Structure 1
Amino acid sequence: MSTSPERLEALAAELRALLGERGVSVELAAREKASVDGSRLSPVISQQLPLGLADLVAYPTSADEISAVVGAAVRHGVPITPRGKGTGNYGQAIPFDGGLVLDMTKARAVISVDDGVLTAEAGATMVSLEQAAAKTGQQILMYPSTAQSTIGGFLSGGSGGTGSIKHGSNHQGFVVALDVVHAVPDAALVHVEGDEAQTYVHNYGTAGIIARATIALEPLQPWRGFYASFDAFDGLLPLIRAFGALDPAPRLVSGDLATLAEALPTDPAIPAGRASLRAILDASTVDRARELVEAAGGRVEDVREGPQVAMKLSMISYNHPIEWLQKAYPDTYFHVEVQGDALIDRIDEVHGVYPGGMLHIETSQGRPIGMLAGRYTSAEDVYAGFDRLTALGVGYHNPHQWYVDFEPDRTRALAATTDPAGLLNPGKLVTPPLSTGAKVS
């Protein structure tokens, strides 16, 4: 659907009165910047770009201003696409129907840090939350591999990351409470806690926009960056399970073929020509990890200390290795999210699912998980691999799509009351064929 110029002009005028001249933009450069995310990571989606262009962009600076902007847009009948840093990779923050992009990166205050909990506005980055917690001797339970993403974006579009070995996904005890905004003319902050708060997690803002979040904290641990290498990928695979079972649990464990070392910036701890095992370990487990590596025929390359070390390791975990491969070998790779014991026990067959198959492996709550990369030929060939993965006992998730696929029925039921006019992030709360992830408009 498209919005009439008259409605857009009226909304822009109201937003200028609310936010000031610099709080709203209709300039093409600003609209284009606010209408893209990292979806070029997916060659399937890349072939369909551009998918939408904002008509105007608003930059609220607080949770209260977020609710005021949403209410104004609803009164003028203008679609609203919420946006954080735009670090999502699959189009969930692209304004398919134009309208208003709600850029929340300026609403970034850390409101409070108390014993076991932290409250911040939606635009606060995960790095800033980790730093604020550390000043009080605490740490956040997890953060995504793109640590500069916002808490609102992580809760709306992310799932897990560094810390998921122990804590799982961000809907499993991470969120204590939320202040959300519904798409109604008199929009205001709605406070939800516990199970009710979880219904707003990972639905891309289609049933309510997260304006402020209270998340759980735990005592700060002495983390170490641990680097090891092996002659071959097979050598490190058994250690994925062994490292995941260390106590206290690691914050991250990642393993890759030697191909990744050739794509990364030069680092003596990730030597060329060797498979790489990297981990963020509690200092008390480093000696045991060293024993495990040496017993498996590997060698420890380095043990590093400091928060920047952990952040750097996070940036080469989860789907980030695919980004590095794509930078080194443009127009070559795609990936599929995978999980299951077959990633270790049947690795040669897993690699054979796609031409040039390469597994980036992690662990989460005792399960091997990862990103299976392959050389891209066509979307049809990507989808054809799903049945082959299933036959191997590998669970998969298709990342080459932008619709809500976590509790979609629950989200639709919620949105029926929180977004009666269907203005929140249109095009994302749909049910396309799961086998293809076909474009839906």
Structure 2
Amino acid sequence: MSLSVTTTSPDAVTDLAAELRELLGEKNVSLEERVRMRASADGSRMSPIIVEQLPLGLADVVAFPTSAEQIGQVVAAAVRRGVPITPRGKGTGNYGQAIPMSGGLVLDVTRARAVVEVGDGVITAEAGAQMVVLEQAAWNAGQALWMYPSTAQSTIGGFLSGGSGGTGTIEHGSNDRGFVVALDVVHADGTPDLVHVEGEAAQAYVHNYGTAGIIARATVRLEPLRDWRGLYASFPDLESALPAVREIGRMQPPPRLVSADHPEISAALPPDEAVPVGRTSLRSILSADMLAEATRIIEETGGRVEVVREGPQASMRISMLSYNHPIEWFQKATDRPTFHVEVSGEALFERLADVEAVYPDGMLHIEAGHGVPIGMLAGRYESAEQVYAGIAALNALGVGVHNPHQWNVDFEVERTVELARRTDPNGLLNPGKLNPDYDGPRKGAIR
């Protein structure tokens, strides 16, 4: 793979690396090419549009702070030397948001992973703590996270900076609807200070890829733990499964997740007797006291329950088969180039055939969302222009679409730009991602 050339001053990088070794220790700073390459890539190969543009940048130095306070100190050291800073969690994003387009420093937070406190209805952790670890800590206290990403190994900092929702959104919506209680963030002002923000002030740092401040510590909401079960069912095809998806998603209390796939997508999922080949797979995480009602719905709408599984691993496995993961499994199972777009709206239920026909070999993964169905529409990839034309066609059908095949901040852009003017006056935080003049196709965003 060829590597892009950066304009970061070599002397600035050398001096920064020396200071960071003093601060973090030799093992937590690297100039090695293999480490820099690994820290400069994410899951972008899921997007054929971005693949055509790779590589997008290479880190000059990688730092691994081990606490929230060290995150602040690392950022301050880089800012004093004018070195760009790209924050990184587990690198599970799929669209380039963690790729260091201007080179410089990649700030890997995965070693700052302490769970600080589990309280009544809240949990506090450092940015590098994995969501699965937070969930386990919450369960041990008789509570559960409001939501966690479909990639449960994601870090809390990465999820909040980039993610749009997560498992649990049927009841609580995406993570801009009260999930975040408070944040400790670092600004690019040359100081190592952790700035504590709460409520709406904290929300301004969510979804902006660290372009206005880097999350060092987060406090998010918990709810009382329920006796979750993992239910697998199947239907002859996706159309016949849609009434069950709708009705199960409306049950009270709501499931944590209910999703279903086009049979060809279901067939590409990891082998499991609960996912019969040739049929649409429906999967749900729901409380034990709702199993009878869900079973009734499934059977009355022409499906059959394949299995019900207990324990946290069962729930986590189903979560990992939601959002864009089924499309990723399909991409691995097929030789034909495939892409997807994020879709939403009642038209997914009411005009399924028309929706899938927009793209060649169109196939839908659908989930019950917070008040509106959401999903991933996959199709055979021919060109970026084909994808964009399809977005317009979907809008005409009444489908909300978010184009994920770009790395630009596209949530509350004006708010983020205004915040960044104060918090990042020299434009050093994740350069290339905050583009207020970007006018790419993002009509009807599903967030």
Runs of 4+ aligned residues of structure 1 deviating over 4 Å after TM superposition are none
Other-structure match for 1:227: 232
User: d(CA) in 2 for partners of 1:26 and 1:197?
Assistant: 34
The structural deviation recorded for 1:234 is 1.1
Any conservation in 2 of the 1:383–1:436 contact (CA below 8 Å)?
no
User: d(CA) in 1 for partners of 2:413 and 2:298?
Assistant: 43
Other-structure match for 2:396: 391
Q: Which of 134, 142, 145 is the equivalent residue of 2:147?
A: 142
User: Are residue 434 (structure 1) and residue 445 (structure 2) matched?
Assistant: no
User: d(CA) in 2 for partners of 1:82 and 1:150?
Assistant: 12
Other-structure match for 2:91: 86
Other-structure match for 1:379: 384
User: Are residue 267 (structure 1) and residue 272 (structure 2) matched?
Assistant: yes
User: d(CA) in 1 for partners of 2:335 and 2:111?
Assistant: 33
The structural deviation recorded for 1:436 is 8.6
TM-score, length-normalised on structure 2?
0.97
User: d(CA) in 1 for partners of 2:299 and 2:26?
Assistant: 62
Any conservation in 2 of the 1:228–1:277 contact (CA below 8 Å)?
yes
Other-structure match for 2:31: 26
2:47 partner amino acid: S
User: Are residue 48 (structure 1) and residue 53 (structure 2) matched?
Assistant: yes
Other-structure match for 2:338: 333
Write the deviation string for residues 329-364 of structure 1: whole angstroms up to 9, x where unpaired: 145210000000000100000010000000000011
The structural deviation recorded for 1:298 is 0.9
Any conservation in 2 of the 1:35–1:53 contact (CA below 8 Å)?
yes
Any conservation in 2 of the 1:240–1:368 contact (CA below 8 Å)?
no
1:375 partner amino acid: R
CA 1:138 to 1:236, structure 2 compared with 1: closer, same or farther past 3 Å?
A: same
Other-structure match for 1:361: 366
The structural deviation recorded for 1:239 is 1.5
User: Are residue 129 (structure 1) and residue 134 (structure 2) matched?
Assistant: yes
Any conservation in 1 of the 2:402–2:442 contact (CA below 8 Å)?
no
The structural deviation recorded for 1:293 is 0.7
User: d(CA) in 1 for partners of 2:270 and 2:13?
Assistant: 46
User: d(CA) in 2 for partners of 1:232 and 1:359?
Assistant: 11
User: d(CA) in 2 for partners of 1:273 and 1:357?
Assistant: 17
Other-structure match for 1:38: 43
Write the deviation string for residues 159-194 of structure 1: whole angstroms up to 9, x where unpaired: 111100001011111011000000011231000011
CA RMSD across the alignment = 1.1
Q: 1:279-290 counterparts in 2 under 5 A? A: 279-290=284-295
User: d(CA) in 2 for partners of 1:235 and 1:286?
Assistant: 20
Any conservation in 2 of the 1:244–1:366 contact (CA below 8 Å)?
no
Other-structure match for 2:199: 194
TM-score, length-normalised on structure 1?
0.98
Match of 1:211, SS state, is strand
Any conservation in 2 of the 1:360–1:370 contact (CA below 8 Å)?
yes
User: d(CA) in 2 for partners of 1:233 and 1:14?
Assistant: 57
Q: 1:73-112 counterparts in 2 under 5 A? A: 73-112=78-117
Q: Percent same amino acid among aligned pairs?
A: 66
Q: Which of 170, 179, 183 is the equivalent residue of 1:178?
A: 183
Write the deviation string for residues 272-331 of structure 1: whole angstroms up to 9, x where unpaired: 111111100111110000000111111111111110011111111000011100110145
1:97 partner amino acid: S
Other-structure match for 1:215: 220
Match of 1:423, SS state, is coil
User: d(CA) in 1 for partners of 2:300 and 2:259?
Assistant: 19
